[in-house]
């Protein structure tokens, strides 16, 4: 991009001069010639002063001048303007993807919009419907009777089982498995197991992102539901018949047992675990590695196993840390009482 194009997109004020075009974006620690970056926090001042980036987005009140053949672009919110550029570059990157690869296998009953992209070695099953501008990368499998909405991206090696419903503007990363059987078995008197058929499906609403190697089990009956705007990190397990609310976020290695209802705007830190048949209310934050054996219905920040309100848990931890000294004090008091 020309600098003038970036100015038009970000409505920045130009300081300095350069003849160099911008070919990529980078962090301020690493940005060099031909790249644009941003400065938003004082702790990165040293990097700003030594950066060889061709263009740097800086706050509107910035006073210093750029180096030779370098420009500063003044904006009210440098990070926000940088994100605007990231989105713009990303949209341009995906424009080149069009058509259906010759090695893709598409059943005759499938319904694909004219501008869908299907990569090499994909399989599209019977009665699958795929919406406008959706991109499906190589080696992905979409089994029969599934629906995928508009402007959704399915990255390579994703497995989508039958009857799955996926909304608009979703992103599903490589290795994700959507609609595998829930963990349903009857334990027999001889300790063997009889499998319970899992005949439900998975419903993923609009604007959901699912990380790499995350698994979402189909319901026993009914649906496992991931509601609008929710973001799941890599390596997460969502079990059968879970109902995950809107705009909820989970970090890596979270595990949610079966038939759990999680509310809206919930945050789960990495490796948090939720036992089965529980309810987590709206606006609950559960910190990393917490184990949840019972329902949490009140908004707040919780930590531990079992989780407690964060401030209460930290007070308990402070007492535990003082136990060695408290033991010594108690022992001294005990010895003194025995002497007396």
Phi, psi of 186 (to 5 degrees): -100, 130
Q: What is the dihedral of CA 291, 257, 280, 308, to 10 degrees?
A: -10
Q: Are 51 and 30 in contact (CB under 8 A)?
A: no
Burial (Cβ within 10 Å: 0-12, 13-18, ≥19) of residue 56: buried
Beta-sheet pairing, 215-217 with 237-238: parallel
- Helix residue ranges per DSSP H, 208-250: none
Per-residue tokens: 96: 């080149």
Is 215 in a helix, a strand, or coil? strand
Q: Are 22 and 35 in contact (CB under 8 A)?
A: yes
Q: What is the dihedral of CA 128, 171, 221, 142, to 10 degrees?
A: 30
Catalogue the active-site residues: 240
What is the enclosing helix (H) or strand (E) of 271? none
Q: Are 207 and 226 in contact (CB under 8 A)?
A: no
C-alpha 248/C-alpha 231 separation (Å) is 6
Burial (Cβ within 10 Å: 0-12, 13-18, ≥19) of residue 54: buried
Distance, CA of 64 to chain centre = 38
Give residue for tokens 């911008």: 22
């Amino acid at each position: 991009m020309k600098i003038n194009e970036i100015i038009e997109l970000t409505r920045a004020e130009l300081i300095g001069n350069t003849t160099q075009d911008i070919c990529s974006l980078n962090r301020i620690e690493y940005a060099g010639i031909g790249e644009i970056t941003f400065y938003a926090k004082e702790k990165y001042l040293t990097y700003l002063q030594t950066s060889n980036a061709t263009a740097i987005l800086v706050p509107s009140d910035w006073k210093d001048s750029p180096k030779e053949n370098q420009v500063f672009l003044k904006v009210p919110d440098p990070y926000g303007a940088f994100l605007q550029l990231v989105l713009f570059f990303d949209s341009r990157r995906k424009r080149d993807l069009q058509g259906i690869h010759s090695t893709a296998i598409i059943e005759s009953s499938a319904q694909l919009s004219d501008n869908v992209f299907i990569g090499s070695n994909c399989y599209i099953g019977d009665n699958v419907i795929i919406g406008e501008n959706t991109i499906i990368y190589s080696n992905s499998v979409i089994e029969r009777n599934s629906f995928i909405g508009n402007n959704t991206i399915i990255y390579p090696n994703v497995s989508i089982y039958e009857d799955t419903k996926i909304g608009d503007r979703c992103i599903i990363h490589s290795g994700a498995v959507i609609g595998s059987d829930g963990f349903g078995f009857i334990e027999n008197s001889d300790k063997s197991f009889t499998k319970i058929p899992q005949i439900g499906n998975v419903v993923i609403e609009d604007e959901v992102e699912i990380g790499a190697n995350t698994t979402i089990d189909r319901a026993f009956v009914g649906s496992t539901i991931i509601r609008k705007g929710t973001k799941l990190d890599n390596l997460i397990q969502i079990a059968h018949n879970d109902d995950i609310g809107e705009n909820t976020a989970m970090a890596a290695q979270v595990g949610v047992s079966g038939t759990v209802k999680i509310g809206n705007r919930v945050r789960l830190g990495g490796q948090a675990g939720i036992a089965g048949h529980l309810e987590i209310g709206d606006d609950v934050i559960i910190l990393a590695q917490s184990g949840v054996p019972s329902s949490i219905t009140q908004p707040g920040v919780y930590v531990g196993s079992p989780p407690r309100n964060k401030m209460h848990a930290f007070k308990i931890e402070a007492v535990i840390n003082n136990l060695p000294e408290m033991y010594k004090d108690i022992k001294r008091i005990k010895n003194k009482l025995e002497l007396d």
